[in-house]
Amino acid sequence: MTWVFLAVVVVLLVIIALLVARQQRSRKLKSDFGPEYGRLVAEHGDRRSAERELAARQRRFERFEIRRLEPVARERYLESWRRVQRSFVDEPGAAVIDADLLVQQVMHDRGYPVENEFEQRAADISVQHPDVVENYRAAHAISSRAHDGHADTEQLRQAMVHFRALFANLLDLAETDERKGDGDQRDAGTAPDQSKPGTAPSQSDPGTAPHHSTTRG
């Protein structure tokens, strides 16, 4: 009887340990992916399925060789963004399409595989940039509609704001902003959403956009 009792205790302890480990894994995935965790749970209708997908994304991401941009490359991309943003005034649809392509170019230079379908690119981005990935999806959808001339000016303006948030994260500009004074940060945070339909988004550097997001790594 003693051995039976001990065996039951051991089994119970193992079950408890597995439950605790599962809860810890769930908490970590929630912390790592933020709103993307909730979106996938709702999409799958099942927490375990969602967590399996998120864990698979992390394993895939570990195979990438993500690298920071050299300062020269970063400045080149910043100038490209300013040029795209200026073009929004006269050709907003073309500017949004160019912004989409520019984000892909930065992703490629950072080490992300961009030859995949968009949803795979978004899934890859979600590992380090979960707070902006849903906006990236929205911006890309607007860019696709812009190809066919089916996006209005306000949608195009919002797409530019969304692309700029991810663009700035990819260039690690949030870290640069954190080293600036409080006055600079206050100025930077006011521009993107104050643009009126039919006008270009703020001409400030894209580093002003992602203060509402988190860059991981």
Residue 3 confidence (pLDDT)? 72
- Let me know whether 160 and 200 are in one domain: yes
Residue 103 within a domain: yes
- Let me know whether 36 and 77 are in one domain: no
pTM: 0.74
Residue 5 above 70 pLDDT?
A: no
- Let me know whether 194 and 119 are in one domain: yes
- Let me know whether 57 and 76 are in one domain: no
Residue 211 confidence (pLDDT)? 41
Look at residues 12, 29, 62 and tell me which one is the last residue of a structural domain.
62
Residue 214 above 50 pLDDT?
A: no
Residue 217 within a domain: no
124 or 201: which carries more pLDDT confidence?
Answer: 124
Q: Containing domain of residue 22, as a range?
A: 2-62
139, containing H or E segment: helix 133-147
What is the distance between the alpha carbons of residues 106 and 114, in angstroms, rounded to a whole number? 10
Give the three-class secondary structure for 162: helix
What is the distance between the alpha carbons of residues 190 and 194, in angstroms, rounded to a whole number? 7
- Let me know whether 174 and 83 are in one domain: yes
The tens digit of pLDDT for each residue in 117-159 reads: 999 999 999 999 999 999 999 999 999 999 888 999 999 999 9
- Let me know whether 140 and 55 are in one domain: no
- Let me know whether 10 and 104 are in one domain: no
What is the distance between the alpha carbons of residues 175 and 32, in angstroms, rounded to a whole number? 19
- Let me know whether 104 and 178 are in one domain: yes
Nearest C-alpha neighbor of 173 from the set 201, 113, 213, 138:
213
Look at residues 39, 62, 85 and tell me which one is the last residue of a structural domain.
62
Banded model confidence at residue 186, pLDDT cuts 50, 70, 90: very low
Residue 52 within a domain: yes
- Let me know whether 23 and 88 are in one domain: no
Residue 49 confidence (pLDDT)? 94
Residue type, 149: G
Residue 39 above 90 pLDDT?
A: yes
The count of domains in the chain is 2
2 or 167: which carries more pLDDT confidence?
Answer: 167
Nearest C-alpha neighbor of 103 from the set 63, 64, 140, 131:
140
- Let me know whether 58 and 76 are in one domain: no
